[in-house]
Chain A
Amino acid sequence: MTCLNKRFVSLMNKVLDGEARREEKMELDRHMETCESCRNHFRELKQSTELLNHLSHPQLPFSFTKNVLDKLPAENRHALREWMSRHPVWATAAICALPMSFVMIAAKRQTFFQGKNGEDHGYLLLRVPEDRS
């Protein structure tokens, strides 16, 4: 009754792993036609693996991803980019304000150095002082 010849058990494993050649599969089939214990053994093995294949795959709740993100170390390298995508109006304003401020500073400098009578002190400052005696 109990055959379970090592060779046939290893053939069963090969078949179940999808690695048996055609001749090996035929050899096993031929043996199982006459050997009841091997036939039963192979059927039980197949049934067990089929049960595993049919186990359900439960899904995680939708909030899972957010919960993971909340626990990650703070995102620092992209803080600026993050802020910009969240506040596009302020970001645009800030970008425009930068060249604008240069223009304004430049304009201010010019009026400052020009003085009241329009004399260009700024220009004079850059020159080597002349002897005014």
Chain B
Amino acid sequence: MEYKEKRLIKKVKKGDHQAFAELVDKYKNSVYSICLRMVGNSQEAEDLSQETFIRAYKHIDQFDTDRKFSTWIFRIATNLSIDFLRRKKPSVSLDAELPGTDGLELKEILASGEALPDELVVWSETERIVQYEIDRLREKYRSAIILKYIQGLSLKEISEILGVPIGTVKTRIHRGREILRKNITAIRGEE
């Protein structure tokens, strides 16, 4: 970890709010981006981002300064998002891999012009479709895909964030990529 960040964290460990504010400013948009793509709703994502930083502050004593702060904070964000998904909508990801549903629901939703959260309306059509397909992935595939393609992290970092071996990360990315390919191609084929 870079020297400046180490120094900041030492200050945070002593209870320095201003030092913590610098860390929040540095990582808030990356954390938000993970939460947003995990839960697909900007308000929930903002709340989860806030919760991520509050937890990080409260548990900063457990953070080992020899490790990367980004890995640690992304881990908190990912875990909180997964907890949120399990609490809030346990059924959504269950049908993610059911055959025969290829994009049909989305077409219906888009045609009826409702049921999508307000925030998604400002997104482009493509973005809506992609987010919808991300939302349909199981959590374990979703988190791996988001960390890889939206955060652009290395397999090693992803394995540390998710707490699984690199081989498992690869398998999840391959599987997630294949599901996305199938569903996105199906939607495009119908257009």
Contact = CB atoms under 8 A, between A and B. Distances in A.
Nearest to A56: B127
Interface in A34-50: 41, 44-45, 47-49
A60 B32 contact: yes
A87 interface: no
By secondary structure, the A interface counts as helix
B184 to A, nearest CB: 5
A82 to B, nearest CB: 9
A80 B5 CA distance: 24
A52 B32 contact: no
A41 B15 CA distance: 54
Size band of the A side of the interface?
20 to 34
A53 interface: yes
A78 B16 CA distance: 7
Interface residues of B, number: 41
B6 interface: no
Given A44-B185, A52-B130, A77-B15, A59 B29 contact: yes
Contacts of B177: 13, 16, 45, 48-49
Interface of A: 13, 16-17, 41, 44-45, 47-49, 51-53, 55-60, 64-65, 67-69, 71-73, 75-78
Interface of B: 14-17, 20-21, 24-25, 28-29, 32-33, 36-37, 42, 46, 49-50, 53-54, 57-58, 123, 126-127, 130-131, 134, 145, 149-150, 155, 170, 173-174, 177-178, 180-181, 184-185
